[in-house]
Chains A and B, each alone.
Chain A
Amino acid sequence: MLEIIQDYWLTFLIGQYPNGPLGGLAMTLIVAVLSILMSFPIAIGLAVARSSTWRWLRLASACVVNFVRGIPLLMLIFWCYFVIPIMTGYAVSGFWTLVCALTIYEASYLSEVIRAGIASIPKGQTEAARSLGGSYMLTVRSVVLPQALFNVLPGITSQFISTIKETSLGYVIAVNELTFAANQINNQLLTQPLQVFTILAVIYFLLCFLLSRGLSAIETSIRRKRGLL
């Protein structure tokens, strides 16, 4: 196992780069970060729409969210793979296909988490802001959302972790990420799949485990600072 790590650690980390395309863990992180950054504002939009007083807006948001949550991520990836080129007229790389699919998928799940957060804010909070003369938008932006997002930080963290894990599905459409790199290494070695996939699992485990621990430590420290513990 140590030998594999010695020989292939660079491939695990950055794929064939700089002699070939960037891949491995670096690519996994890029895809995950991009998808999270893009899905977050969409999720907030969907959640706010879902919590609004306009019926049709609530309905539209509910339809989108339930449709996306009703199909496997792999199906969504294939849809993006086929539909985006037709819609945009451009050949889209596997990378962007994956980022788009993950963005849509995670935005839907994240929006449900955020919606629960919004629902958990006592009515008195909005009333206080409105009674000071704050507009609906200001109230949502500076009173409801900051508290709602903070209250559901554990749920948001677990969606981030899910996103990182789901980047592995890029393997199916040949995106050069960590799982893909591990399979390449496995194909070169042929005889040591147990070791290769153990290393792969350990890398994902460390990444996700440490990230969730880190975020929860940050949350605890903010709670302590605000006297909420």
Chain B
Amino acid sequence: MAQDGIGARVARKEDKRFITGKGRYVDDMRVAGMKHVAFVRSPYAHAKVGGINSEQARNMPGVLAVLTGSELVADGIGNLICGWMVHSKDGTPMNMGAWPALAPEVVRFVGQAVAMVIAETRAEARDAADVVAVEWEELPAITDPAKALGEGVPQLHPEAKGNLIYDWEIGDKAAADKALSEAAHVTRMEIVNNRLVPNAMEPRAALAQYDAAEDHFTLWTTSQNPHVARLVLSAFYNVAPEHKLRVIAPDVGGGFGSKIFIYPEEVACLWAARKTGLAVKWTGDRSEAFLTDAHGRDHVTVAEMAFDANNRITAFKIDTIANFGAYMSLFSSSVPTYLYATLLSGQYDIPTIHCNVRGVYTNTAPVDAYRGAGRPEATYVVERMMETAARELGVAPPELRRTNFIREFPHQTPVIMNYDAGDYEASLSAALSASDYAGFGERKAEAARRGKLRGIGLSCYIEACGIAPSQAVGSLGAGVGLWESAEVRVNPVGTIEVLTGSHSHGQGHETTFAQLVAERLGVPIDNVSIVHGDTDKVQFGMGTYGSRSGAVGMSAISKAIDKVEAKAKKLAAHLLEAAEGDIEIADGEVRVAGTDKKLGWHEVCLAAYTAHNLPEGMEPGLKEGSFYDPANFTFPAGAYVCEVEVDPDTGHTEIIQFVAADDFGRIINPMIVEGQVHGGIAQGVGQAILEGCIYDPESGQLITASYNDYAMPRAHDLPSFKVSTTETICPSNPIGMKGCGEAGAIGTPPAVINAITDAIDNNDLSMPATPEKVWRALRAGATAMRQAAE
């Protein structure tokens, strides 16, 4: 292993600037003559927009312009799109309502923008936005996804009758029904996956500049995928042609998926920059983030699992209603379908699966991918079902899982996925021993003596990362390909710049990507810099989400390194008068194997650029690129064990121990992986016991619109995690890695809820399991037991 190469616990190179406050975020950007934007937003969940009188606002100090939705539409700015076509089971395309960046006629969720004010200062823009007079005609609103389906309720879009976006299915319904009717045992549950607000540390922001002389636009934005933003902005929104638009996503303070999407504010700022000739900046505040960032999850599901007399699963049938909010966000259609239902086989050999999903509009913020995107929802259904079935069947929860584990690979599930490699027994055993699962009974008894109810819960998750290959996702309706690009530029002195289409917004790419280069080309990681996030520097890329940057982004780098390495070897062989096959590159040297003949790496690089003595036909320079399209998804998997104590007087849950045993394939930097797992577990605990986004069902107002009411996990709420990894090498990419960014958020919620329901001996508990819910479930359980005894 090279010193800072693959597997090394290297401190993150980027942290110096983050920790010392030297990160450069969109709001830090200043350009000459820059003005400030404030949006006028709807106070209603559903309303017609009558006239907008901006006269008073225009006369406020510092105000330069007030622009409205009708002007935006008149200028031909396109509606926001959903980039993944999903068809209903009857073959009809999804029913997509129009979403203009500034609403000219109707608003459909609280916080939707109808106009924008441009002023000299941010405060002046806000003061003026307050006095823009909009004639609202309030309409009835609906927020509950199950109630929104159908006719006799408020309707959001003329395109979607009964608020139905699609009625989609996967798998064999007749076979599932038959197996259920013939089953020795059926476990049935109603499962709600609670709606979450993403809460990236940095709120969204956009700075748009138009250069009239060059007819050229620059957009600085908080994006996880600046090239996709440029493509969509130019191809669909008609704000600027692609070659005349530069999109820069500088340091970005977290995204969790919510910054994949191109939002109305970015479109509006670009449009306004040209219309007014002013460079304009908008920086959202936390309230705007709560109201308008794409939310996550929000499923209502009924699941039935059939078992034979040997406790083997014979069929799994799932019916899900997915809340989309008021508009179809960029990838929203794929989340509750291809990213959810395709993972419902879990780690288990299930012969028959059928899943039906109905997507529905409601008067709430749009819902789209959020850390895990579909896989946490699938894992929660599968693992709540498994634990519940084990209890009903009287089998130890680990045993029921073992009975049903997939043990041979590759494994074709009935729901598209073909698992390439895994060892579920290995991660389960590791988790059981790290948690001393066998000794739980004693700990429970000891807790009881202290008046506490102790419970233990298990979750064996699988997920799919590095969504791919392009041809396959294309056939499923994706509007984009899901490959990644890389360019490795070796400088004449031997230092290296890697240009990647991935985007780092907390993941540590500047470190891990450099470690790969160090490993392969034998240079110290300080001689490697990673360039990303600027469409003028990197030719194209698909960005970072779905834990794809390692498996796909680094694979592209690896492929480009292959080409650099081949050229360097060929050149060195020529210079050293040796056979190409005998050249090896390591420790800053290019050597003829088994001899003392060698050149410094920098000498070979310089020779490539002086070009005084190149092999016949070789071009000068040392720079190679690659576009890498993976052969398959990768399938990280693992086992999590959560142990809790519940205070029976108050219903308060304390997480006493949390064990994670993950299989991420080959690991580049264990410290970064642990950080990802820790953060994911924290978010998973957040979803399980703290976070719940609540809209008022009548008015559609967001009740949990600040941290006063939306409970975020804090260090105080969490134990010190015990994390470890097992390793099966991923055969589908050259590095053998799988991805670790979302696993924690995926595997954790069912482990926590399984533990609490074990502690209180009542399985009827929904997320977030707040103290009051747990207290009520305890009392209901006690009542049920008393009644049973009577």
**Do A and B assemble together?**
no
Interface residues of A (CB under 8 A from B): none
